[in-house]
Structure 1
């Protein structure tokens, strides 16, 4: 097991983000209990990006308390994995978030447009700053 404070630049870690692996993202509910969701994940220029919709539980949770945890296991070898603790340092909406949802749909589903958008839904990118990184 290797621990690198804040370091997601390792090529093995970046590969976990760049492949079709789901991230299990944990946020904190108002009462302090954990909430966890399997989520599409991305990394661009060593920044962790999670795309969700405004008003979803995880987005509301990180707006109130920016602490977040995530874990990714390689779908081909679940013993190759990374866990990250961090905080959401920015929430990006608008065209950038909509385009990013399409990019993730291409990665995970091989579809050009995000197919699950509900009428009136607005996408948001949660930008995560890691504070603790552990990988094997």
Structure 2
């Protein structure tokens, strides 16, 4: 029997990421929320909880956006129960993904403080 490359939780997480991404995009438009997008979804093994990681176009408005998404989570879950073929849709937890902001900060620091090239002739 061939081994499975993906676990069920991985497949469910990928499907949730697609579906929640569409729901979040519509919520941003309909509720005039700060622009956010879904970067990842992590589902627990028992499929009881799904942590939805979001990034914001303007990081200073991330707390407002995450708070609004947390309030909309029950509505998203209801919508997911209609669109997905799952026995039980996981509870949604929205969290802000700071990795993009940290990457941009590191890139800015490297750009502002370039590392001088190493001169091989000075080694001898």
TM-score range relative to shorter protein: 0.3 to 0.5
In terms of Rg, which structure is larger? Answer: 2
Query: Higher relative CO (CA 8 A, sep ≥ 6), structure 1 or 2?
Result: 1
Q: What TM-score comes out, normalization by structure 1 length?
A: 0.31
| Greater strand share, structure number | 1
